[in-house]
Amino acid sequence: RNSIDELLDVDSITWTEEPYRGLETFDVEHAPIFYGREEETCDLLQRLRDQQEAGCAFVVIVGASGSGKSSLARAGVAANLVQHADDEGGKWQVSAFIPTLADQSLCYTLVRAIGEVLPELIDSEEATTNLTEGLAENAALTVKLTIAPAFTRAGEPVRLLLILDQMEELWTDRNTTAEDRESFLAALKALAESGHVAVLATLRSDFYPHAQQSPTFLQLKGKLGHVDLLAPDAASVQRLITEPARLAGLKFEQHEQSGRSLDEVILQDAAHDADALPLLEYTLSELYRQRNQEERLLTYAAYVELGGVEGAIGKRAEETFVALPADAQAALDEILPLLVSVDVAGEQAAVRRRAKVSDLTATPARQTLTDQLVAARFLTTDREGETPIASLAHEALLRSWDRIVGWINANRQQLRLRARVEQQQQRWEQQDREESLLLADGLPLDEGRQLVEEAPYLLTASTKDYIDASIAHQESNARKSRRVRTVVLSTIAALVVAMATGGFIAWQINEQNQQQAALEQRATAASGLVQRLLDVEALGLKVAID
């Protein structure tokens, strides 16, 4: 490859924008600067073909957070399919979505994604609603009768690659029930079996055991639809570092004393951490921003100033933070509960949480802080339907910015309690606030009370209302129990008195009966004695007469 690059004139500039993505995902349009995952891309393309032949075109990329799953799916696989159309199957189009960005149901979002390729399916809101309900109720029949014919009727042969990014949110999002999840997976299965749609999903490795508990998921992936994404080897990381710079006409500075090139030093530093890809990409992005523009040179001085790969993102975040006014700094503790959660389904590690921009900017101080974090690319913004939302740009911030790390450690237990309470709250809300789904008396309710007393700053208004409703329900039940107990005790006392009185009367009657019996016995005995005396007297008279 290097020899071919030289023949193609390595000094030519073919990429005029920034060649590194920082904490942002590589998308299809960034394929020219996406390096280091060539082998994995080929493997995934082959897996999709194999799965298609097996009857279900579904593949899931499983890897650690920050391993580059999303970029591989988009800038690797999707871009390759788009650039190399299949003459037999038709031109590929791509639609990517994240589960928790669904403004309505998961199936509704799926229908909207399909509609990007087949707009005739969603030419009205009624059509969209009907198709959504059809997928939720009988996905196989809906795909067979409605969606598959639409692909056939298309002006030119077309195939759709659906990228289901961050699939773990099917299990972490408190708005998704088990029924929602299975219905959605059934719809994906029907699409993947249609012959017109391929599905490529990304899943954090710590959630794979949870996915395995879904029979539909296991049917989807079959034997070949699972690819473990490992950390790239040194040669791949080197290409990730050097090739984008070459395309942009950039060079790495040589150290005067050691003679080592800066890219070699960066490669060595990145090799110490298998999870360093997002930090590495961010470091390269910052080096580009601080480059020597005249010489188009990435310099040692900038790298040292950044603190190397490991310290770059944390140091940059802290520098941005301390430059803010005092009131904006104080607001960090107010917005972190909105942006950070704890995964209760996996290893209970800290994870990102999406928040409404309106909540993050509820005060002038919060507004200032949020705006600066967005400008520095530590927060990214998006939309859920019509609602603007924001989240931390990458979970690397949860490990590399000491200020956030300290806050998480100080609040970890309370964050765990909140996550458990919120799961119960979601079930309660989805079941029309069924009383039986309120926090049960005992440990669940004790945890709710603990949150209210010790960490009210972690609670949204809706979660606080849920806990209050649970407490009120328990107290109401306790009052009812006390009233019932009072009635029962009074009844028991009355019965005891009645029984005691009845017993006394019975005793008196028994005594009287016993006395009467004794009198009758004595009377009988006296009567017998008199009769015997009379008999004796009669006998004596008879003797005397004789």
Global pTM reads 0.72
418 pLDDT band (50/70/90 cuts)?
A: confident
CA distance linking residue 297 with residue 220, whole number of Å: 48
Share of the chain above pLDDT 70, in %: 87
pLDDT at 12: 72
What is the arithmetic mean of pLDDT over 476-504?
77
Which residue did the predictor score with more confidence, 535 or 339?
Answer: 339
Q: Is the pLDDT of residue 101 over 80?
A: no
Residue 244 pLDDT greater than 90, yes or no? yes
**pLDDT at site 366:** 94
**Angular region, 441: left φ>0, alpha ψ -120 to 50, beta rest:** beta
Name the residue among 103, 99, 104, 128 with its Cα closest to residue 116. 128
| Residue 544 reports pLDDT greater than 70 | no
Q: Environment class of residue 467 by beta-carbon count within 10 Å: exposed (0-12), middle (13-18) or buried (19+)?
A: buried
Q: What is the pLDDT of residues 256-285, one digit of tens each?
A: 888 899 999 999 888 766 567 888 999 999
With contact defined as beta carbons under 8 Å apart, do 280 and 270 qualify? yes
pLDDT tens profile 144-175: 999 999 888 766 778 999 999 999 889 877 77
The chain-wide mean pLDDT, for the chain, equals 85
The dihedral sign for the CA sequence 419, 425, 430, 435 = positive
Beta-carbon contacts of residue 226 (< 8 Å; ≥ 6 apart)? 59, 60, 62
**Residue 222 belongs to what H/E stretch?**
none
CA geometry: angle at 158 spanning 99 and 139, to 5°? 45
pLDDT tens per residue across span 197-215: 999 999 988 788 889 999 9
Q: What is the pLDDT of residue 271?
A: 74
Contacts (Cβ under 8 Å, ≥6 apart) of 347: 206
Lowest mean pLDDT among 10-19, 177-186, 246-255, 261-270: 10-19
CA distances from 480 to 369, 475, 483 (A): 50, 9, 5
Residues 16-41 pLDDT 10s: 999 999 888 999 999 999 999 999 99
